[in-house]
Amino acid sequence: MGMTTFLRVTIALQTLAAFLSAVTAGLLLTTPHGHVLHSASAYTVWVVAVGHVVVAGLVWRPGGGSPRAVLLAAGFLVLVTAQVFLGIAHVKALHVPLGVLLFGVSLVQLSRPSACLPPRGRSRRPGRRASRVAA
C-alpha cells in the first residue's frame, strides 16, 4: 500500500471518527453514561487527527507529496484541539457548530484526492526528474 493510499485511509478514519463523535453527542443527551462515550469519541478524533498530521508529513517529505496535505492536517488538528477544550469548558454555543464544521471539512478532504498527490512536474521520489511527454 502506497503512502498516498495510507493518507486516504487515515482521512477516512478521521471522517468516521468525527461522525461517531456526533452520534455519541446524541447519546450524551439521551443516556445516563453518554458523556463517557462522547469523551472517548472526542479523544479518538484527536488521536486520529495527530496520526493524520504524521502520515501527511511522511507523504510530503520522504514521499515527495504536496505540503498542502500537511497544512490541511495541521489545521484540522488545531480545530479538533479547540473543539476538545470547548467541550471540556461546556461552551456549547461554539462546540456544536465547530463539530459540524469538523465533520464537513473532513468529508471535503476525503472527497478531494488531489490534496494527497504530488505537485505537477515532480516525481514521487526525491532526486528524480519528472518525465516529460511530447504533446
Per-residue pLDDT of the chain (135 residues; tens, 9 = 90+): 678 888 999 999 999 999 999 999 999 889 988 999 999 999 999 999 999 999 999 988 876 777 898 999 999 999 999 999 999 999 999 999 999 999 999 999 999 876 555 555 444 555 555 545 554
For residue 62, report the phi and psi dihedrals to the nearest 5 degrees: -70, -30
Residue 117: predicted pLDDT: 55
Q: Is residue 133 part of a domain?
A: no
Q: Is the dihedral of CA 59, 60, 65, 71 positive or negative?
A: positive
Q: Is residue 124 part of a domain?
A: no
Terminal CA-to-CA distance of the chain, rounded, Å?
32
Nearest to 14 by CA among 83, 107, 82: 107
CA distance 11 to 93: 27
Q: Specify the number of domains making up the chain.
A: 1
Q: Which domain holds residue 41?
A: 3-116
Residue 2: predicted pLDDT: 79
Q: Is residue 123 part of a domain?
A: no
CA distance 45 to 19: 9
Output the pTM of the full model. 0.80
